[in-house]
């Protein structure tokens, strides 16, 4: 009987949390629509804009392909994972700080704000990514089929889980400290340049490859290139590292959250 009661209580709690997350998601959705229309359009067009700008730089240098891959497709395949991590570090991790007034409601927990913002932002990136890749397929007639779909899907899944962990971990301390928030914003500025977005990791000296490979975005980008283009992964790129990094990040994120959840409610 106790087991059944505990199960029923858990299920009721999950249903309440699902309803709260959905309500917060709808709030995020309405805020996107009610806010600056230019801001929403820019969010959708930002990845494509970066792809055009970075590709143009390569084209002016006389490069139309990298490793046999058209330059636009090469950069587009890496720009979307970067965008996912950027919204995780920036928008998603700021969810609690920007929704502190909602924490006064008894059923709303800080983690719900992270989940709702995560779903809203990932959906937005997915739409912009579909438009970008679809445009390359229909307009430029690029071959966007992958050589290894299981690897591609697993890499994307790990990137999404990794982003969730980073968002919660940073979000906990960004909510507690204004200085930490500014430090994260400053530290994330060079992410575009150290994530192998507009260049393959293989052109970097071996010592540089080692240090850049600690960056999970580099791991994701290079594994996506292996899956999509059939490339050989550089020495320091491995699915095992990405799995381990994701597991550790999620573990630390939830430890940090449960250790600070009551403090977050008092903010």
CA atoms within 13 A on the CB side of 5: 2
Residue 142 lies in a domain: yes
pLDDT at 178: 84
Confidence check: pLDDT of 44 > 80: no
d(CA 126, CA 130): 6
pLDDT in tens, 211-265: 999 999 999 999 999 999 999 998 899 999 999 999 999 999 999 999 988 887 7
Beta-carbon contacts of residue 79 (< 8 Å; ≥ 6 apart): 47, 50, 51, 54, 132, 197
What is the arithmetic mean of pLDDT over 157-176? Answer: 94
d(CA 186, CA 174): 13
pLDDT at 185: 87
Residue 92 lies in a domain: yes
User: Quick one: how far is CA 2 from the chain centroid?
Assistant: 41
Least confident piece of the model among 1-5, 14-18, 125-129, 176-180: 1-5
Residue 9 lies in a domain: no
Residue 42 lies in a domain: yes
pLDDT at 225: 95
Residue scoring higher pLDDT (198 or 264): 198
What is the arithmetic mean of pLDDT over 162-177? Answer: 92
pLDDT in tens, 129-162: 888 888 888 887 888 888 999 999 999 999 999 9
Quick one: which of 201, 17, 43, 213 has its CA closest to 116?
17
**In the beta sheet, which residues pair with residue 69?**
66
Confidence check: pLDDT of 38 > 70: no
- The stretches of the chain forming alpha helices (DSSP H) are 2-34, 37-60, 71-89, 110-138, 149-176, 178-187, 206-212, 216-229, 239-265
Q: What is the mean pLDDT of the chain?
A: 87
Confidence check: pLDDT of 186 > 60: yes
d(CA 222, CA 229): 10
Output the pTM of the full model. Answer: 0.88
pLDDT at 3: 54
What distances in angstroms separate CA 184 from CA 94, 194, 222, 264, one per listed residue?
A: 11, 16, 25, 18
Quick one: which of 225, 221, 211, 183 has its CA closest to 89?
183
Count up the domains in the chain and report the number: 1
What is the arithmetic mean of pLDDT over 33-42? Answer: 64
pLDDT at 165: 96
- The band of 1, judged by pLDDT with boundaries at 50, 70 and 90, is very low
Residue 5 lies in a domain: no
pLDDT in tens, 87-124: 999 988 888 888 777 777 777 888 988 999 999 899 98
- The band of 193, judged by pLDDT with boundaries at 50, 70 and 90, is very high
Quick one: which of 130, 160, 142 has its CA closest to 48?
130
What distances in angstroms separate CA 26 from CA 19, 30, 61, 88, 113, one per listed residue?
A: 11, 6, 46, 19, 11
CB atoms within 10 A of CB 136: 20
pLDDT in tens, 200-219: 999 999 889 999 999 999 99
Residue scoring higher pLDDT (68 or 24): 68
**Domain around 233:** 16-265
d(CA 77, CA 128): 13
Residue 107 lies in a domain: yes
Confidence check: pLDDT of 70 > 80: yes
**In the beta sheet, which residues pair with residue 65?**
70
What is the arithmetic mean of pLDDT over 23-29? Answer: 77
Residue 2 lies in a domain: no
Q: Is 103 helix (H, G, I), strand (E, B) or coil?
A: helix
Residue 10 lies in a domain: no
């Amino acid at each position: 009987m106790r087991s059944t009661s505990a199960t029923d209580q858990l299920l009721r709690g999950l249903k309440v949390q699902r309803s709260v997350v959905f309500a917060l998601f709808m709030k995020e959705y309405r805020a996107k629509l009610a806010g600056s229309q230019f801001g929403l359009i820019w969010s959708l067009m930002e990845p494509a804009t970066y792809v055009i700008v970075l590709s143009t730089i390569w084209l002016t240098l006389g490069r139309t392909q990298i490793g046999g891959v058209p330059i636009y497709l090469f950069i587009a395949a890496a720009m979307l994972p970067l965008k996912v991590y950027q919204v995780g570090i920036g928008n998603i991790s700021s969810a609690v700080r920007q929704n502190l007034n909602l924490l006064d409601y008894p059923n709303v927990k800080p983690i719900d704000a992270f989940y709702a913002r995560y779903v809203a932002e990932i959906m937005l990136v997915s739409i912009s990514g579909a438009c970008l890749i679809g445009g390359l397929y229909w307009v430029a007639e690029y071959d966007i089929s992958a050589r290894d779909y299981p690897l591609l899907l697993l890499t994307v899944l790990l990137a999404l889980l990794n982003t969730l962990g980073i968002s919660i971990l940073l979000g906990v301390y960004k909510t507690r400290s204004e200085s930490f928030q500014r430090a994260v914003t400053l530290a994330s500025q060079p992410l575009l340049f150290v994530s192998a977005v507009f260049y393959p990791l293989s052109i970097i000296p071996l010592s540089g490859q080692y240090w850049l490979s600690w960056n999970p975005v580099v791991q994701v980008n290079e594994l996506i290139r292996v899956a999509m283009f059939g490339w050989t992964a550089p020495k320091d790129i491995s699915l095992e590292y990405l799995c381990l990094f994701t597991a550790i990040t999620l573990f630390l994120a939830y430890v940090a959250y449960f250790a600070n959840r009551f403090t977050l409610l008092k903010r």
